[in-house]
Amino acid sequence: MNWQMAARAQKMNPSVIREILKVTEKPGIISFAGGLPSPKTFPIAAFAEACAKVLREDGQAALQYAASEGFAPLREMVADMLPWQVDPAQVLITTGSQQGLDLVAKILIDAGSRVLVETPTYLGALQAFTPMEPDIISVACDDEGADLADLTGKASGARFFYVLPNFQNPTGRTMSEARRAALSDQAACLGLPIVEDNPYGDLWFDTPPPLPLTARNPDGCVYLGSFSKVLAPGLRLGFLVAPKALYPKLLQAKQAADLHSPGFNQRMVAEVMKDGFLAHHVPTIRALYKSQRDAMLVALAREMPEDVHWNKPAGGMFLWARLPEGMRAVELLPRAVEKNVAFVPGAAFYADQADERSLRLSFVTASVQQINTGVAALAAAIRESRPSRASPAQEQDERNAATVGAK
């Protein structure tokens, strides 16, 4: 049979992370690689109860086809929990926020369209956008978020700027209040639409992050949210909030994709959430992840060579590290796996020029004991793989010899 692939299929790539996750299935591997929430946080008992209740009281509707927009009480709950005025009619329940990215790509990107992303950015977004054949342009970023001068220079004709202001995947960084205000003003001034992805915003450790960009300019933004990190990813439920001008097309794209997200799961989530469940459940996730982050920071400070650097994320699941000069994270990975520890090389998260020295470490799925063992193993792998360097004493001897020679 002569199967001929569409041009868009040729552009699809396997997710590097999923490939690495296969390696991490090897028994005994300590994985800092996956973006998986800690299964300890899944509220299984609450779901068991909600599941029985939904089937008992609303079983026929729960198992029937349903509206593409989503289960009305859940859309209302989503509108109520967001920190700006949201009409439930603007909420579309999606099959994970990953589907939100896919729908946005389908309705906003033509082949050759300019799409702006942060440097680095979420790999799954690059995967969702790429089949639409855009010209993906990276906007330079610092610790506070996007560099606005660079953004302005690249914004002309762009369909949108994809932004992750809170505890970004992969870097864990958070956009400051000042940068949000300036970006929001700048985007409005340029007429540049924003796609704001916020699956980690509730997972702050000390103080909540500043208001979303969408709260500042709802008509200029599509906002994507998720139940994956506050309840469970296996539900495959997320949502988007879209301006009225976009909503009908997103809905049509959703209908073509899957008719609707599972009605049974939507009812279970609404049942679990209805009496303010998240208000006491989410703080338990924050406390767990904060203690895991702290354990990783302590282990890194204890184990790593001086010229390895990392940041201190204020929430979320990831920490971003940088290897010494001359090292590449992709080359380190097999050495680390030999020592039973895995991570994701940062290069996977760049739309263009990658920082080969960067790597992403998840601190939420490994136990504190595994974090200690894994970080020590990673530090050992770095020491063994680094380009051979003379000892400080040898270096001093060489410098002395050179000085003598020069005289």
Ligand X SMILES: Cc1ncc(COP(=O)(O)O)c(C=O)c1O
Segment 135 to 164, residues that bind ligand X, using CB under 6 A: 164
Min dist. Cβ of residue 244 to ligand X (A): 24
Min dist. Cβ of residue 336 to ligand X (A): 22
With CB under 6 A as the contact rule, the residue among 69, 196, 197, 355 that binds ligand X is: 197
Min dist. Cβ of residue 377 to ligand X (A): 25
Examine residue 124 and tell whether it contacts ligand X (CB under 6 A). yes
Segment 326 to 365, residues that bind ligand X, using CB under 6 A: none
Min dist. Cβ of residue 203 to ligand X (A): 11
With CB under 6 A as the contact rule, the residue among 199, 201, 313, 345 that binds ligand X is: 199
Give the separation between CA 299 and CA 373, rounded to whole angstroms.
9
With CB under 6 A as the contact rule, the residue among 122, 161, 320, 350 that binds ligand X is: 122
Indicate the length of the chain as a whole number.
407
Min dist. Cβ of residue 101 to ligand X (A): 6
Window of 93-101, 102-110, 268-276, 377-385 that interacts with ligand X by CB under 6 A: 93-101
Examine residue 98 and tell whether it contacts ligand X (CB under 6 A). yes
- Respond yes or no on whether the N-terminal peptide bond of residue 120 is cis (omega within 30° of 0): yes
Segment 231 to 270, residues that bind ligand X, using CB under 6 A: 233, 238
Q: Which amino acid is at 375?
A: V
Give the separation between CA 185 and CA 181, rounded to whole angstroms.
6
Segment 25 to 44, residues that bind ligand X, using CB under 6 A: 35
Q: Which amino acid is at 328?
A: R
Burial annotation 109-118 (CB, 10 A radius, 16+ → b, else e): beeebbbbbb
Size of the site for ligand X (CB under 6 A): 14
With CB under 6 A as the contact rule, the residue among 43, 96, 165, 209 that binds ligand X is: 96
Contacts 24+ apart (CB under 8 A), 311-314: 311/143, 311/171, 311/172, 311/173, 313/167, 313/171, 313/172, 313/173, 313/174, 314/167, 314/174, 314/204, 314/205, 314/206, 314/207, 314/209
Examine residue 166 and tell whether it contacts ligand X (CB under 6 A). no
Enumerate the β-bridge partners of residue 359: 321, 345
DSSP 233-272: GGG--EEEE--TTTHHHHHHHHHHHHSSS-HHHHHHHHHH
With CB under 6 A as the contact rule, the residue among 169, 171, 184, 214 that binds ligand X is: 169
List residues binding ligand X (CB under 6 A): 35, 96-98, 122, 124, 164, 169, 197, 199, 226, 228, 233, 238
